[in-house]
Amino acid sequence: MRILLINPPFTKIYNFSGQGGKTAPLNIAYIAAYARKYSNSLTAIEILDAESLEYDFDMIHNKITNYAPDIVAVTMTTPAYNSAKKIITMTKEINKNIVTVVGGAHPSAFPKELLDEIPQIDFSIIGEGEKPFAYLLDAISNGWSFAEIKGLAYRNDGKIIFNHEIEYIRDIDMIPFPARDLLPMSLYEPSTAKDITHKGGFSNIFTSRGCPYDCVYCSSRNIWSGKVRIRSAMNVVNEIEECYKTFNITKFNFNDDIFPISRQRTIDICNEIISKDMKIHWTCMTRVNYVWEDAMIKMKDAGCEIVNFGFESGSDEILKSINKKTTVKQGIEAVKICKKAKLKVMGNFMIGNIGETEDTIKESIRYSKTLGLDSAAFFIAMPYPGTKLYTMANDLGYLRKDWSYTDLLAYGNNNPPLILPNLPPETLHYWQKKAMKEFYLRPNYILNKIKGIRSTRDILSLLRAFMVFIKIVIPKVL
């Protein structure tokens, strides 16, 4: 069987390019690697990263036609819904016998509804995709029943069937490394806020799956559940070494919800990186209650340069309402520990959660300016399907009647889907831009950035960040 996995185009189509870098779609690279190792039905498999290659739909049409796949599988986030739908529809127009499969965050939120909405979809995979996709290939190839494939939605005699039980891989060390050989690795680059300004290639990497927390705005549990599974330190470092030696990758972004989820494993990973003398530079995400001085110092020694926190709000009241399970004080202490380890700190903030007021937004802006951050991002709260925020907003009647999935852009200029009684969409946009201006246009902040210039790459990085700032704050300029 010939398989084509597609990451649909999105940012360029919706005029969002240039703000988030270009990130490898490791989700489908994992799917490809697992299928190559465990399925007996493959003759050929390719990945089309139409997003990073900036393919339009005519180019995708030509690719499908020329490659002549037996199966086209499309990863689908909610904002990219329309693009994914167009590709699925196009595939059936090219050849109605091509089997179409979707997976990802949106199908996991609406498994049966999606098949109702898009009749051209043959199968929808819910949650973790490696096992069900490999099983599906063999079932199609051998004419087996689909009834035993966990986490699969499909059609049978005109009815939509959903195999509700989802199977998660317990030992994720046994999952092959993502098939980066099928990706255009030279195209990937970090976002401006995570730009490490060193030479060499870039890749994201996952060392764990799942998050033990249940923040109302987060869709992580739709895919991974709330149970955390971690890779061994040696398995993680072996993947880093493969990237380093095979693809000349020296810059990494650890995409785990909480990279230092285990204090000792974090130290072990760093010790292995140091022992192998790999000259790498990296960033990671964590929570303000997962910071330890010895681990942060070791991370710095192993090449970590930026730690990214989701502070979300400067109001303990809002932190409680979004079920963040952290406090403003913890955020202050976390930054102090990172700074002591000589790590740069990026902070993410959200405005417009249910219960937000202009006063709590002002608290968040003040908080961002007092933390000593190296960079900050201010997002408008988005009710992604499958999250508690979506359910709450829907139950309270806070969703705009005419909202669309493309309105879920973090920095888009469309009106956000949430209509709060005291914060209409235009007010949220005003405060988002005001927060950006207040944080980045401080004279001391600008002076410190200029003082930190050490190379031409630093200058180019600052210019790139400035262009993004202008595009967000004054969107009609660019």
In terms of DSSP bridges, do strands 281-286 and 71-75 run parallel, antiparallel, or are they unpaired? unpaired
Residue 177, pLDDT score: 98
* 328 lies in the same domain as 463: yes
What domain range includes position 117? 2-162
Does residue 178 lie in a domain region?
no
Report the CATH number at residue 20. Answer: 3.40.50.2300
Per the domain annotation, does 435 fall within a domain?
A: yes
Q: Looking at this protein, which amino acid is placed at residue 34?
A: Y
- Asked whether residue 148 falls in the same domain as residue 271, the answer is no
If asked whether residues 271 and 125 sit together in one domain, one would say: no
> Among 33-42, 150-159, 248-257, 412-421, which stretch is predicted with the lowest mean pLDDT?
412-421
Q: Please list the residues that pair with 375 across neighbouring strands.
A: 346
Residue 324 lies in a domain: yes
Q: What pLDDT is stored for residue 275 in this prediction? A: 97
Closest CA to 252 of 304, 299, 186: 304
Q: How many domains does the chain have?
A: 2
Which tens digits make up the pLDDT trace of 136-173? Answer: 999 999 999 999 999 999 999 889 999 988 889 999 99
Radius of gyration of the chain (CA): 22
Q: Report the distance separating Cα 360 and Cα 393, nearest Å.
A: 19
The answer on 393 and 289 residing in a single domain is yes
Residues 150 and 207 in one domain: no
CA torsion sign for 61, 64, 66, 70 is negative
How does the average pLDDT of the chain come out, rounded? Answer: 92
Whether the predicted pLDDT of 68 surpasses 50: yes
Element (H, E) at 48: strand 44-49
Co-location of 57 and 124 in the same domain: yes
pLDDT at residue 20 greater than cutoff 70: no
CA distance 464 to 195: 10
147, 162, 177: which is the final residue of a domain?
162
Contact 469, 436 (CB under 8 A): yes
Nearest in space to 349 (alpha carbons), one of 385, 389, 323, 318: 318
Does residue 186 belong to any structural domain of this protein? no
The amino acid at residue 390 is Y
Q: Which residue in the block uniquely carries the two structure tokens 């059936």?
A: 92
- What gap in Å lies between CA 468 and CA 478, rounded to an integer? 9
Q: Is the pTM of this model over 0.85?
A: yes
Average pLDDT over residues 170-190: 96
* Residues 123 and 83 grouped into a single domain: yes
| DSSP codes of every residue in 318-352 | HHHHTT----HHHHHHHHHHHHHTT-EEEEEEEE-
Query: Residues 9, 91: one domain?
Result: yes
What does the alpha-carbon distance between residue 451 and residue 448 come to, in Å, rounded to a whole number?
A: 5
State residue 427's pLDDT score. 93
pLDDT class for 352, splitting at 50, 70, 90?
A: very high
**Higher-confidence residue: 458 or 286?**
286
Choose one of 162, 177, 205: the last residue of a domain. 162
pLDDT of residue 476: 52
If pLDDT is split at 50, 70 and 90, which confidence band does 406 have?
confident
Amino acid in position 216: V
Query: DSSP string spanning 182-233?
Result: GS-GGG-B--GGG----SSEEEEE-SEE--S---TT--HHHHH-S--EE--H
The amino acid sitting at 354 is I
Task: Give the whole-angstrom CA distance, residue 371 versus residue 338.
Answer: 11
Q: Angle at the Cα of 287 (from 289 to 360), degrees rounded to 5?
A: 95
Q: Give pLDDT, residue 19.
A: 56
Instruction: Please report the pLDDT score of residue 122 as a whole number.
Output: 97
Indicate if 150 and 35 belong to the same structural domain: yes
**459 or 355, greater pLDDT:** 355
DSSP 401-460: TT--GGGG-TT-SSPPSB-BTTB-HHHHHHHHHHHHHHHHT-HHHHHHHHHT--SHHHHH
H or E segment to which residue 103 belongs: strand 99-103
Instruction: Give yes or no: residues 313 and 452 share one domain.
Output: yes
At 346, give phi and psi (nearest 5°): -110, 140
* Cβ neighbours of 418 (radius 10 Å): 27
CATH code, domain with 438: 3.20.20.70
Average confidence (pLDDT) over 221-236: 92
Residue type, 24: A
419 in a structural domain: yes
Q: Which residue has the tokens 């309105």?
A: 407
* Residue 296 CB neighbours (<10 A): 23
Q: In angstroms, rounded to a whole number, what is the distance separating the alpha carbons of residues 348 and 397?
A: 27
Per-residue pLDDT for 237 more than 90? yes
- Structure confidence at residue 190 (pLDDT): 86
Structure tokens at 379: 């997002």
- Residues with Cβ within 8 Å of residue 77, at least 6 apart in sequence: 10, 104, 105, 106
Can you give the length of the chain in residues? 478
Structural domain includes residue 431 = yes
Average pLDDT over residues 307-323: 98
CA dist 430 and 179 (Å) reads 43
Q: Which of 123, 146, 162 is the last residue of a domain?
A: 162
| Domain presence at residue 169 | no
pLDDT for 309 beyond 80 = yes
Q: Are residues 232 and 324 in the same domain?
A: yes
In this predicted structure, the answer to whether residue 244 has a pLDDT above a threshold of 60 is yes
Q: Is 377 helix (H, G, I), strand (E, B) or coil?
A: strand
Structure tokens that stand for 439 in this block: 């944080």
Q: Is residue 478 part of a domain?
A: no
**Do residues 211 and 130 share a domain?**
no
From residue 335, give the alpha-carbon distance in Å to each of 296, 330, 452.
Answer: 11, 9, 19
